């Protein structure tokens, strides 16, 4: 060890050159990891939530929730244009147990023909806090006027298209569904599988159906289950699993989870391949550095061999030299990386004005292990060379 | 079991130079007994240095073999050869082969490092040799700061400090003045006399032949009788 340190100090510029190779490699890997991880995180954040939702119901050829009131007797539970059966809330528990399901929420979707407005009006009863509701039906963030649903029993929100068609504005009162409903807000939820004309909390809709419309039904839990999965890439598996376990259910989803899943897989594999390529270049670079060092030192090493230094002792020196250089290099590289990332972030510098450099502390141990592995691998070839070459040939530089 | 300490049997070394095969050493048979002093003389390029390098295992023969203490050195494992070079064989190079970035003390010390001797013993031994060769005040200098003669002395000390039983010396007095050459020869002869060391010395003629037990003349890689 003593001689390794002495050797490193004696050939200071050679040592600096070798270490700088590791510094550059470590710095480069750290910055690339920082960008790819951030990119991966941001892109995944967007893509993971793309097409991760679907609705579940049981189609029926007759309406199962018909009002006794003759005025409202044309109403029915429906989903995607067909009558549906009522579902029991136990189904939510069963669906939530399926691996990959992030959330499942009840949804009660009813429509009836309103004689005064001369149109069919659909009413959606939602669980206002559920993630599954947010992605399948609507969310507070979709409000464009007024406010979202509160605990008040008569409050509703209306889709923008419905409000415009009937010249409704926030605060208006609608005499529909057997009572007076106050328009608290106008919403634009976009294209969603569970879209309705107006929405109210599910408990209120249950009350409307039971008490105001006096519907006859085996239950009033829900007629649709809204499902959210954890990742677009597993959506197909979750749907298949659900159909396998509950084959009486109909599942409806937008298929955007398929391209999203493919893009995520590509991003994931690209960053993996990039990391492998950087590691490969690090090893090639380190090996070249160590081999060059051996070539430069061949005469010295030949002299030591001629004095009786064993190949094992000399190999150990080469290995230790390589490890020390890689350790110092990776340490300096990491410190420089932290400094550069901190400087860039403090000055709000972003790649393409979009990607923020985020320091990955978790990558430091991996980077140290990679560099040390690189150091070990880099010394293997010189060691083989050392074992195979006679002292005299090394002294005469016949490597 | 052979009675000789060193034996060269049909020893040969070929090099390829400009696509031509050159016989640097060609079919040499040589036997050297313990405590013998043998001079290999010949002109530059005759093959003396190659023969010495073959005899001490620094290069591999193209054909034939070298036996030291009845061991064929080209068949020895790397470790066994290192062991031999560490404990039994000392080599004095024509070009000294001192490490330029090491001090004089360190250049000598590296010959003892693999032995794992205690630092105090190593220091005492080195200082004693440096005193004998009047180099004690040069301990912390680099080889480039010494004269050629002094560098040659350091190279010799590095060999002697290991106390080898066989010394292969390639032109040990080739680049020094007569006075220094005399000192070096005296040291080598003392070793032969006091420690029963075997000496194989390659020279082109500046070592008194009367000191040698036997003299071999090398010409075109062969021994001329």
Structural contact between residues A353 and A40, judged by C-beta atoms closer than 8 angstroms: no
pLDDT of residue B118 exceeding 60, the answer is yes
Say which residue, A68 or B114, is predicted with more confidence. Answer: B114
A105-134 average pLDDT score? 88
Alpha carbon of residue B131 to chain centroid: 22
Q: For residues B20 and B41, what is the distance between their CA atoms, to the nearest angstrom?
A: 26
Which residues from A are below 8 Å from B when comparing CB atoms?
A: 3, 6, 10-11, 299-300, 303-313, 387, 390-393, 395
Quick one: pLDDT at residue A399? Answer: 47
**DSSP code per residue over A176-219:** ETTEEEEEEEEE---S-TT--SEEEEHHHHHHIIIIIS-EE-S-
Strands A119-126 and B214-219, bridge-based pairing? unpaired
The string of pLDDT tens digits covering residues B6-57 is 999 999 999 888 888 888 888 899 999 998 999 999 888 888 889 999 998 9
If pLDDT is split at 50, 70 and 90, which confidence band does A145 have?
Answer: very high
Q: What is the pLDDT of residue A155?
A: 92
Q: Is A101 helix (H, G, I), strand (E, B) or coil?
A: strand
Name the more confident of A41 and A70.
A41
Query: Is residue A254 over pLDDT 80?
Result: no
Residue B24: partners with Cβ closer than 8 Å, 6 or more residues away: B13, B14, B15, B47, B50, B221
Contact state of A392 with B78 under an 8 Å Cβ cutoff: no
What's the pLDDT score for residue A352? 66
In this predicted model, what pLDDT tens digit does every residue of A155-177 receive, in sequence order?
999 999 999 999 999 999 988 88
Q: How many domains does chain B have?
A: 1
Mean pLDDT of B59-87: 90
Q: Which of A212-216, A250-254, B56-60 has the lowest mean pLDDT?
A: A212-216
| Cα B115 from Cα A39, distance rounded (Å) | 57
CA A90/CA A222 separation, integer angstroms = 11
Give which of B58, B66, B86 to mutate to test A binding, by max A Cβ within 10 Å. Answer: B58
Q: How far apart are CA A53 and CA A58, in angstroms?
A: 17
Supply the mean pLDDT for chain A: 82
Tell me if residue B66 falls in helix, strand or coil: strand
Q: Which residues share a beta bridge with B198?
A: B166
Give the torsion through C-alpha atoms of B148, B154, B160, B162, to 10 deg.
Answer: -140
Chain A partners of B91 at a C-beta cutoff of 8 Å? 306
Q: Is residue B130 part of a domain?
A: yes
Residue B224 and residue A321: Cα distance in Å, rounded? Answer: 49
Question: Rounded to an integer, what distance in angstroms lies between the CA atom of residue B196 and that of residue B174?
Answer: 24
Beta-strand relationship, A155-159 and A179-187: parallel
| pTM higher than the cut 0.90 | no
Task: Say which residue, A354 or A303, is predicted with more confidence.
Answer: A303
Instruction: Choose, out of B47, B51, B78, B157, the residue to mutate when testing the contact with A (most A CBs < 10 Å).
Output: B78
For residues B101 and B114, what is the distance between their CA atoms, to the nearest angstrom? 19
Backbone φ and ψ for A264, nearest 5 degrees, come out as -60, -40
Quick check: is B145 in a domain? Answer: yes
Lowest mean pLDDT among A262-266, B58-62, B149-153: A262-266
Listed range (A54-58, A68-72, B121-125) with the worst mean pLDDT:
A68-72
Burial class (CB in 10 A: 0-12, 13-18, 19+), A364: middle
What is the pLDDT at residue A341?
84
B99 within domain boundaries: yes
**Residues of chain A positioned with their CB less than 8 A from the CB of B84:** 308
Q: What angle do CA B183, B187, B189 make, to 5 degrees?
A: 115
Whole-number Å distance between alpha carbons of A255 and A98: 20
pLDDT at A40 over 70: no
Whole-number Å distance between alpha carbons of B173 and A7: 31
> Cβ separation of A308 and B111 shorter than 8 Å?
yes
Nearest 5°: the CA angle A222, A227, A228 is 150
Residue A359 in tokens = 């320091």
SS3 state of residue B24: strand
Top residue of A308, A317, A388, A394 to mutate, by most chain B CBs within 10 Å, is A308
What integer pLDDT is reported at residue A325 of this predicted model? 87
CATH classification of the domain holding B218:
3.40.50.300
Do residues A137 and A189 make contact, with C-beta atoms less than 8 angstroms apart?
yes
Predicted pLDDT at A123: 92
Query: Per-residue pLDDT for A69 more than 60?
Result: no
Q: Let me know: does B38 contact B209? Beta carbons within 8 Å.
A: no
**3-class DSSP state of A362:** coil
The closest CB to that of A308, out of B60, B106, B114, belongs to: B114
- What local confidence, expressed as pLDDT, does residue A353 receive? 66
Q: Are strands B214-219 and B222-224 parallel, antiparallel or unpaired?
A: antiparallel
Give which of A330, A328, A374, A343 is closest to A30, Cα–Cα: A330
Average pLDDT (A318-342) is 88
Cα dist from A173 to A155, A182, A323, A332, A399, whole Å: 9, 5, 78, 69, 94
Give the span between the Cα atoms of B92 and A195, in whole angstroms.
Answer: 95
Domain hosting residue B195, numbered range: 36-49+78-224
Q: Please compute the mean of the pLDDT values over residues B184-208 and round it to a whole number.
A: 87
Does residue B193 contact residue B224 with C-beta atoms inside 8 Å? no
- Give percent of chain A above pLDDT 90: 20
Identify the band that residue A398 occupies on the pLDDT scale cut at 50, 70 and 90: low
Using an 8 Å CB-CB cutoff, list chain A residues near B79. 310-312
């Amino acid at each position: 060890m003593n001689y390794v340190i002495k050797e490193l100090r004696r050939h200071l510029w050679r040592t600096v050159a070798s270490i700088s190779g590791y510094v550059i490699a470590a710095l480069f890997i750290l910055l690339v990891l920082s960008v790819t991880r951030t990119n991966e995180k941001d892109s995944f954040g967007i893509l993971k939530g793309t097409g991760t939702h679907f609705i579940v119901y049981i189609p029926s050829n007759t309406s199962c929730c018909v009002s006794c009131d003759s005025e409202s007797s044309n109403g029915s539970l429906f989903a995607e244009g067909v009558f549906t059966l009522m579902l029991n809330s136990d189904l939510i528990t069963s669906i939530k147990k399926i691996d990959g399901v992030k959330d499942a929420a009840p949804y009660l979707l009813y429509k009836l023909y309103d004689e005064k407005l001369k149109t069919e009006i659909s009413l959606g009863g939602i669980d206002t806090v559920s993630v599954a509701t947010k992605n399948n039906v609507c969310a507070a963030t979709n409000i464009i006027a007024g406010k979202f649903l509160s605990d008040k029993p008569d409050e509703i929100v209306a889709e923008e298209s419905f409000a415009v068609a009937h010249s409704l504005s926030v605060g208006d009162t609608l005499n529909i569904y057997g009572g007076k409903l106050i328009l608290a807000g106008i919403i634009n939820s976009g294209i969603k599988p569970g879209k309705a004309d107006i929405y109210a909390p599910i408990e209120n809709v249950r009350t409307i159906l039971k008490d105001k419309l006096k519907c006859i039904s085996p239950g009033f839990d829900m007629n649709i289950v809204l499902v959210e999965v954890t990742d677009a890439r597993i959506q197909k598996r979750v749907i298949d699993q659900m159909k396998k376990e509950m084959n009486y259910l109909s599942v409806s989803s937008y298929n955007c989870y398929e391209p999203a899943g493919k893009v995520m897989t590509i991003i994931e594999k690209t960053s993996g391949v990039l990391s492998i390529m950087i590691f490969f270049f690090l090893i090639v670079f380190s090996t070249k550095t160590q081999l060059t060092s051996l070539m430069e030192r061949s005469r010295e090493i030949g002299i030591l061999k001629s004095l009786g230094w064993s190949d094992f002792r000399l190999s150990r020196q080469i290995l230790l030299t390589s490890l020390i250089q890689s350790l110092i290099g990776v340490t300096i590289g990491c410190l420089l990386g932290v400094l550069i990332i901190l400087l860039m972030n403090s000055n709000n510098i972003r790649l393409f004005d979009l990607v923020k450099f985020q320091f990955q502390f978790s990558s430091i141990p991996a980077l140290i292990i990679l560099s040390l592995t690189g150091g070990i691998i880099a010394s293997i070839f010189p060691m083989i060379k050392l074992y195979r070459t006679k002292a005299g040939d090394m002294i005469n530089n016949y490597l | 079991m052979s009675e000789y300490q060193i034996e060269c049997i049909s020893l040969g070394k070929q090099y390829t130079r400009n696509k031509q095969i050159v016989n640097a050493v060609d079919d040499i048979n040589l036997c050297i007994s313990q405590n013998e002093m043998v001079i290999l003389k010949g002109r530059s390029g005759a093959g003396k240095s190659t023969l010495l390098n073959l005899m001490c295992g620094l290069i591999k023969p193209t054909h034939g073999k070298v036996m030291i203490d009845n061991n064929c050195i080209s068949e020895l494992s790397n470790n066994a050869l290192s062991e031999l070079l560490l404990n039994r064989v000392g080599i004095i190079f024509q070009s000294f082969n001192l490490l330029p970035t090491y001090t004089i003390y360190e250049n000598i010390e590296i010959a003892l490092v693999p032995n794992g001797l205690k630092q105090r013993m190593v220091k005492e031994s080195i200082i004693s040799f440096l005193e004998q060769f009047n180099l004690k005040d040069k301990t912390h200098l680099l080889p480039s700061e010494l004269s050629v003669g002094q560098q040659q002395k350091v190279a010799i000390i590095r060999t002697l400090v290991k106390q080898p039983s066989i010394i292969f010396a390639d032109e040990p007095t080739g680049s020094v003045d007569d006075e220094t050459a005399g000192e070096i020869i005296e040291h080598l002869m003392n070793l032969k006399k006091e420690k029963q060391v075997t000496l194989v010395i390659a020279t082109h003629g500046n070592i008194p032949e009367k000191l040698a037990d036997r003299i071999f003349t090398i010409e075109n890689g062969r021994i001329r009788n």
